[in-house]
């Protein structure tokens, strides 16, 4: 694999929304990809990005996107071959399909197609092989283009943290999340709901974590993805944290690895992004912290550009085998950064040609 000679033009569907802004920010200095096109609602189409967008993120809007004229969210109008989708779930199904039909590679953060049997749900460190399903997708649907997806923000943290356990045969998992408010978009969670409070419910989140995890940790079997047959139970909560989903996990495996084996498996974990030195890949995708009270979202979430997952407090679980804490950046590793890493992986496999 060699880096592209010229930067590859990319578009961002839903680029004026909160998730779209995270894409724009994450890509602002990307070595391979260059944002040249933004698609949004009809209301925004025709305006400059800086006029159509109320920038809500820390720091200022990147200079180079300010003058991009926003397009409608449909193929044509100069939309580049590679399209990142930050579309809202209420409209993503049809729009993403239209782009894929028209031959675009759609790398989507939306939930809409994640559980489709012929759509890969990627965490590149774990299941790069699932890209094989794209051939089935194109055949099934008669598309020139294709759709690849990344998981729900909480699921990314969980599956990354479970990845080193996979070799030991994961059988049962109970996870409780403490999720940041930035995961809910804008305006998202009302301050009257979350200030000095916990909201022990996030609509649809537990189902996503339970189902997506099985698919991600499953195997590509030539014409289908065989999900992992493990029981996963999720308790999802919103807490007054800005960025970073913290999770507590109890896990049971078929084999009974020693404590040292688990620690080694975490520390040595690498995947395709590390082997291929993809630009957004963290050098160490999983990092074990020895301090007794870490990881913590506010103190650790910005490390490694938000792309690594931090694990701490591994200890024996009196009910299942092991228990631990994990943390990942929900809007980076759990959304925009995840999609960009997916596209980098696809480039490395020649799928963007």
Compare residues 70 and 180 and give the one whose CB is closer to a copy of itself.
Answer: 180
CB-CB contact of 244 with 330 (8 Å):
yes
Judged by CB under 8 A, the stretch of 44-52, 80-88, 114-122, 167-175 that binds a copy of itself is 167-175
Judged by CB under 8 A, the stretch of 64-72, 86-94, 142-150, 310-318 that binds a copy of itself is 310-318
Cβ at position 228, least distance to a copy of itself in Å:
13
Return d(Cα 59, Cα 167) in angstroms, integer: 42
Helix 205-216, helix 153-162: angle, nearest 10: 40
Whether 153 is a known active-site residue: answer yes
Site for a copy of itself in 199-258 (CB under 8 A): 199-201, 210, 231-233, 235, 237, 239-242, 246, 248, 250
Catalytic residue from among 113, 153, 236, 329: 153
Does 298 participate in binding a copy of itself (rule CB under 8 A)? yes
Nearest to 179, CA basis, from 330, 326, 335, 17: 330
Does 317 participate in binding a copy of itself (rule CB under 8 A)? yes
Cβ at position 65, least distance to a copy of itself in Å:
17
Return d(Cα 230, Cα 86) in angstroms, integer: 30
Return d(Cα 47, Cα 67) in angstroms, integer: 9
What does DSSP assign to residue 250?
A: E
Compare residues 5 and 196 and give the one whose CB is closer to a copy of itself.
Answer: 196
Give the tokens for residue 174: 């109970």
Per-position b or e across 113-131, b if 16+ CB within 10 A of its CB? bbebebbbbbbbbbbbebb
Compare residues 276 and 299 and give the one whose CB is closer to a copy of itself.
Answer: 299
Judged by CB under 8 A, the stretch of 42-50, 125-133, 158-166, 177-185 that binds a copy of itself is 177-185
Does 140 participate in binding a copy of itself (rule CB under 8 A)? no
Does 127 participate in binding a copy of itself (rule CB under 8 A)? no
Does 302 participate in binding a copy of itself (rule CB under 8 A)? yes
Q: How many residues bind a copy of itself (CB under 8 A)?
A: 59
Whether 50 is a known active-site residue: answer no
5, with CB counted inside 10 A (0-12, 13-18, 19+), is exposed
Does 318 participate in binding a copy of itself (rule CB under 8 A)? yes
Using DSSP's 3-state secondary structure scheme, residue 176 falls into strand
Return d(Cα 210, Cα 234) in angstroms, integer: 7
Q: Which helix (H) or strand (E) holds 18?
A: helix 18-26
Using DSSP's 3-state secondary structure scheme, residue 298 falls into helix
As a residue count, the chain comes to: 353
Does 187 participate in binding a copy of itself (rule CB under 8 A)? yes
Catalytic residue from among 245, 284, 317, 329: 245
Which residues bind to a copy of itself, rule: CB under 8 A?
56-60, 172-174, 176, 178, 181-182, 186-201, 210, 231-233, 235, 237, 239-242, 246, 248, 250, 292-299, 302-303, 312-313, 317-320, 323, 325
Point out the residues that are catalytic: 153, 245
């Amino acid at each position: 694999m060699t880096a592209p000679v010229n930067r590859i033009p990319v578009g961002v569907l839903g680029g004026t929304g909160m998730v779209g802004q995270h894409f724009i920010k994450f890509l602002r200095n990307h070595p391979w990809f260059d944002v040249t096109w933004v698609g949004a609602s009809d209301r925004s189409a025709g305006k400059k990005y800086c006029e159509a967008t109320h920038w809500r993120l820390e720091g200022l809007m990147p200079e180079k996107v300010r003058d991009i004229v926003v397009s409608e969210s449909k193929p044509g109008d100069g939309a580049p071959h590679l399209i990142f989708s930050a579309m809202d779930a209420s409209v993503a199904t049809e729009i993403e399909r239209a782009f894929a039909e028209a031959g675009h590679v759609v790398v989507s953060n939306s939930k809409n197609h994640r559980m489709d049997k012929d759509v890969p749900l990627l965490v590149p460190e774990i299941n790069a092989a699932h890209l094989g399903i794209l051939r089935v997708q194109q055949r099934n649907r008669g598309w020139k283009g294709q759709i690849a997806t990344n998981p729900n923000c909480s699921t990314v943290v969980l599956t990354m943290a479970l990845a080193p356990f996979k070799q030991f045969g994961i059988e049962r998992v109970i996870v409780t999340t403490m999720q940041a408010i930035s995961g809910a978009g804008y305006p998202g969670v009302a301050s009257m709901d979350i200030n000095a409070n916990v909201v022990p419910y996030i609509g649809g989140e537990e189902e996503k974590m339970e189902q997506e995890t099985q698919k991600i940790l499953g195997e590509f079997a030539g014409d289908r993805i065989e999900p992992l047959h493990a029981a996963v139970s999720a308790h999802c909560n919103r807490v007054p944290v800005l960025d970073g989903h913290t999770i507590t996990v109890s896990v049971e495996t078929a084999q009974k690895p020693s404590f040292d084996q688990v620690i080694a498996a975490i520390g040595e974990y690498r995947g395709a992004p590390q082997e291929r030195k993809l630009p957004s890949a963290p050098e160490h995708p999983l990092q074990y912290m020895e301090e007794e009270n870490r990881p913590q979202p506010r103190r650790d979430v910005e490390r490694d550009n938000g792309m690594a997952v931090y694990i701490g407090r591994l200890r024996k679980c009196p009910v299942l085998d092991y228990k631990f804490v994990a943390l990942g950046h929900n809007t980076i590793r759990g959304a925009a950064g995840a999609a960009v890493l997916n596209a980098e992986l696809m480039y490395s496999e020649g799928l963007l040609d």
